[in-house]
Structure 1
Amino acid sequence: MTGAIADRNLSGLARANVELLLGEEDLAQAATWPDDMKSDPADFWQKQASPWHYVTVREGDAYMSADAPPEGDAMTGLARFTATLRDLAASMDDKRLALRFIVHIIGDLHQPLHAGVGNDRGGNDVKLSWFGRPTNLHSVWDSAMIEQRSLSYSELADWLSRAITPREIIAWDDRDPKTWIRESIALRKTIYPTDTNLSWDYAYQHRLALDDRLKHAGIRIAAYLNWIFENPQDQNRGEARSAHKPARRK
């Protein structure tokens, strides 16, 4: 849904670049691809890419660079793939991988349990029941509350997109991932239930917050991609220009 909302808010230049990289694949498809690839047995997916889906903030309400573990996290992954997508010398395959991960990571950072405190694996260890079915808190926020509406992702994305006002698009145009994380942490503190048997009451209580995060994520994916494609940066050429810059006369 976040990818589908983003698709509607791309600039013309960004849309052309996305189509150049993905062909007929849209951002909704690209958004889920890094999760789809988690079953690939290759070391890249099982070891290197695994930490790029979340951040851990053990103390305070804001992400600090010191929070990133040696293996990396969603913030380091976002920085890596942003650099790749902005590098004019990067290959099409590398840019395609980067684009898919950027769309996915931005969506993940708007899910409150992807900004975890580090003691329950982002709510995966919080066991509960959802309408009588055993599950966990992370799964409830990842999918169960969305699927409970019995709408396709495109139907709900259309509904949410039509509810976004021009003023909100302007107000939400914040490309700083630390802002997204602060918002997710604030929401995360409010969603742990006291009763582990969840159903209509919990869904009603948190539906507006869930919709809000989906809408924010979609708008920010688009804003982030619009910025990237409007401001490409060939790092190799930049270094070459610096190396051949004539010395100033004294």
Structure 2
Amino acid sequence: MNKMARRMIALLGVSWLGLSLIAAPAFAWGKTGHRVTGAIAERYLSQEARAAISALIGTESLAQASTWPDEMRSDPDPFWQDVAGPFHYVTVPKGTSYHLKNAPESGDSFTALAQFSKDLTDPQSPLAIKQRALRFIVHIIGDLHQPLHVGNGTDRGGNDVKLSWFRDESNLHRVWDSEMIDGELLSYSEWTAWLTAPLSDADVAALMISDPKIWIAESAAIRPGLYPDKSELSYDYLYQNMPIVKDQLTKGGLRIAAYLNQLLAQ
């Protein structure tokens, strides 16, 4: 696809993106990144968690489940149009730690994760509510490991930081959501295999942290270093930041597993 064609596609999507980003950052990781975290998680589920998940969504994989909350954003139901948008991010202003007071009225990733966890484990929840909860849990944990989804509250998670990526118009959030990952031309299964191959049992044990506030604090600590000192980005930015992308995808996947293993052990 040539540059003009890409720009035409971008122009056709302006109105939709503009509406979806008024209050919140855009998608985290993009489809490939989310599927990587879901696929990694699936490798480290306990038998109990695996059985519970299978009972809920059958043959649907966590890689499939991971992108569902983004795919549903155009659903006209008020839940999707008026409520769920802020569930994809949290706000942690510079020099602070996460606090509920910074969440929008309808909540954020942290509060939504808590509610969906209750929905998933409530014996009275209908199957459809449990399925929605599971898919959101997988997605939200992935979101919180994309550092720009722990926003500073000033630039919509880097969406307002306009720049060029290998000479094409872009913004910092988009670079982190998808452009660095998709530029590798790897499938999500290839990413998963390559990221998990070097992990030792000790690595896995150290990284499987189930506390959301720790994930948020880690992403907030990473975030300041992601802002470039120039507006034309290419190989040097990729070289400096791809190790962070790989680490965060790996952590996101392991922590989805850790969280579900703990939640579904009840």
Tell me the TM-score normalized by structure 2: 0.85
- Name the amino acid aligned to 1:68: A
Task: Mark the runs of 5 or more structure 1 residues left unpaired by the alignment.
Answer: 232-250
Q: Which amino acid aligns with 1:151?
A: L
Corresponding residue for residue 24 of structure 2: none
Corresponding residue of 1:78: 113
Matched with 1:111 is 146
What is residue 186 of structure 1 aligned with on the other side?
Answer: 221
Match of 1:141 in 2: 176
Alignment pair present for 1:57 and 2:96:
no
Q: Name the aligned partner's letter for residue 110 of structure 1.
A: H
Partner in structure 1 of residue 16 of structure 2: none
> What is the RMSD of the two structures over their aligned residues, measured on CA atoms?
1.0
- SS of 1:128's equivalent? strand
Secondary structure in 2 matching 1:29? helix
1:100 aligns to 2:135 (yes or no): yes
Report the identity percentage. Answer: 54
Show structure 1 runs of 4+ deviating over 4 A. Answer: none
- Structure 2 unpaired stretches of 5+: 1-35
Deviation of 1:89 (Å): 1.6
Distance 2:163 2:226 in 1: 13
Note closer, same or farther for the CA distance 1:213–1:61 as it changes in structure 2 (3 Å cut): farther
Conserved 8 A contact 1:164-1:215: no
Q: TM-score, normalised by structure 1?
A: 0.90
Partner Cα separation in structure 2 for residue 173 and residue 11 of structure 1: 12
Deviations 1:177-219 (A, max 9, x none): 0100110011111000111111111111011111000000100
Give the counterpart letter for 1:41 in structure 2. Answer: P
Letter of the structure 2 residue corresponding to residue 180 of structure 1: W
Separation in 2, partners of 1:133, 1:25:
36
Look at both structures and tell me which one has the larger radius of gyration over its CA atoms: 1
Within-5 A mapping of 1:1-250: 1-231=36-266
Please state whether the residue corresponding to 1:230 is helix, strand or coil: coil
2:207–2:251 contact (8 Å) kept in structure 1: yes
CA distance in 1, matches of 2:222, 2:192: 21
Maintained 8 Å contact 2:89/2:109: yes
Paired residue type of 1:56: T
